[in-house]
Amino acid sequence: MLYLAAGNISFEGTWGAIKQADWWVIWPYLLAMAGQHFFRSLRWHFLLAPIHKVSLKKIFVVASVGFFAILALPLRMGEFVRPILIAEPPHLRVSQGLGTMAVERIFDGIFLSVTAFIVIASAQQRTEVPEWITATGWIALVLFLTALVVLVMALWQRDRAVSLCHAIFKIFSVRLADKAASLAHGIVDGFKVLPDFKRVFLFSTCTAGYWLLNIVALWFLAKGFHLDLTFSGALGFMSLLGIGIMVPAGPGFIGNYELFAEGALHIYIQPAILAKWGPAYIVTSHAVNALWYILLGLLAMMSPQVSFKGLWRASTEDQKDEDLEGAVATESETTGQ
């Protein structure tokens, strides 16, 4: 992806453009980043509350480490760090934490894909949109709407969903089926917030605040690099970039960040201006974003709220609980038959 992005961008004079930028914009950018980090952490509180009450302090610290892990590990494997660190077996299991992650990603994905679809449809009336951008928008929209349907059906027909999971994996191994069914049971538990209108509203409000401040941050930074990016343009840029960094790739979103950022800016910025200021803007926004999460994550890792010594103990206790649930579920099925 980095190779593909480099093929469309002239990097000549990038360092010179960075030195000529108006760096005062970094302060409102960082302020917006702090706000979006707060909303991003707070919304997790509303997802966890129906399962087990966790202090906001611990949620903020664990979220900071988790966001850093998403950046640091390849293929978005860092997504597993938050559920593991927040787990408090038997009250809050890793699988339940994974369920809350699924809700987050599906809501984010639907917001981004619907916004991207609208942006692409609007842009096609006044400029040429790269075919791969259009295809990405369609794929994301179909994928996340399908995921939403699956999520709702799993919550509505929870027992059937768990039984179906058990039946599928039983073809290969009974023990594997028990583990898979227990995992599915916990993940569906993570969807508990959905029937609660009040908490869904609060979660959605925090989600809107999180993405709005992302737009504000990118919009302010564009001003420092002399890019005539309107607020609606920043919305379109953010939606396409957000879809791009959801793609599992290397650490730090290196490559997919640059490719999708360049493709999005191509829709809004004149080629001559994009060639001069675009690479500097993309490199700076990526670097500052990464440094923000790295520093915040490293600071959070020093908090007593994060215990890596107890990590293995917590995960093994969680596994024992899930094995017990799987055994009980299997026994119940056998008794019923």
Question: Tens of pLDDT along 175-201?
Answer: 999 989 988 989 999 998 888 999 999
Q: Across residues 163-183, what is the average pLDDT?
A: 91
Is there a contact between 324 and 65 (Cβ–Cβ < 8 Å)? no
Establish if 63 belongs to a structural domain: no
pLDDT of residue 259: 93
Q: What domain range is 232 assigned to?
A: 2-49+93-288+309-336
Residues of the chain with pLDDT > 90, as a percent, come to 69
Q: How many domains does the chain have?
A: 1
Establish if 75 belongs to a structural domain: no
- What amino acid occupies position 103? V
Is there a contact between 150 and 116 (Cβ–Cβ < 8 Å)? no
pLDDT at residue 236 is higher than 50: yes
Any residues with CB less than 8 A from the CB of 279 and at least 6 apart, and which? 9, 10, 11, 14, 17
Query: From CA 226, how far away is CA 21, in angstroms rounded?
Result: 8
Any residues with CB less than 8 A from the CB of 167 and at least 6 apart, and which? 177
Establish if 62 belongs to a structural domain: no
CA distances (Å), origin 166, targets 14, 16, 258, 326, 332: 55, 59, 42, 9, 13
pLDDT of residue 2: 82
Establish if 141 belongs to a structural domain: yes
Both tokens of residue 206?
């925090």
pLDDT of residue 26: 95
pLDDT of residue 308: 66
Q: Name the burial class of residue 110, with classes exposed (0-12), middle (13-18) and buried (19+) by CB atoms within 10 angstroms of its CB.
A: middle
Q: pTM for this one?
A: 0.88
pLDDT of residue 130: 87
Count of other CB atoms within 10 angstroms of residue 159: 10
Establish if 271 belongs to a structural domain: yes
For the chain, report the end-to-end CA distance as a whole number of angstroms.
53
Establish if 221 belongs to a structural domain: yes
State the chain's mean pLDDT as an integer: 88
Confidence of residue 310 (pLDDT cuts 50, 70, 90): low
Give CB contacts under 8 A, 24+ apart, made by 80-83. 82/44
Q: Across residues 228-237, what is the average pLDDT?
A: 94
Confidence of residue 336 (pLDDT cuts 50, 70, 90): very low
Question: Tens of pLDDT along 260-286?
Answer: 999 999 999 998 999 899 999 999 999
Any residues with CB less than 8 A from the CB of 143 and at least 6 apart, and which? 109, 113
Establish if 65 belongs to a structural domain: no
CA distances (Å), origin 192, targets 178, 203, 204, 332: 22, 13, 15, 23
Is there a contact between 120 and 127 (Cβ–Cβ < 8 Å)? no
Cis upstream peptide for 28 (omega within 30°): no
Helices in the chain by DSSP H: which ranges?
2-8, 14-20, 26-48, 56-72, 81-86, 94-123, 131-156, 158-170, 174-189, 197-224, 231-246, 256-268, 271-301, 311-336
pLDDT of residue 241: 96
Query: From CA 244, how far away is CA 4, in angstroms rounded?
Result: 13
* Closest listed residue to residue 321, CA positions, set 92, 79, 80: 92
Establish if 84 belongs to a structural domain: no
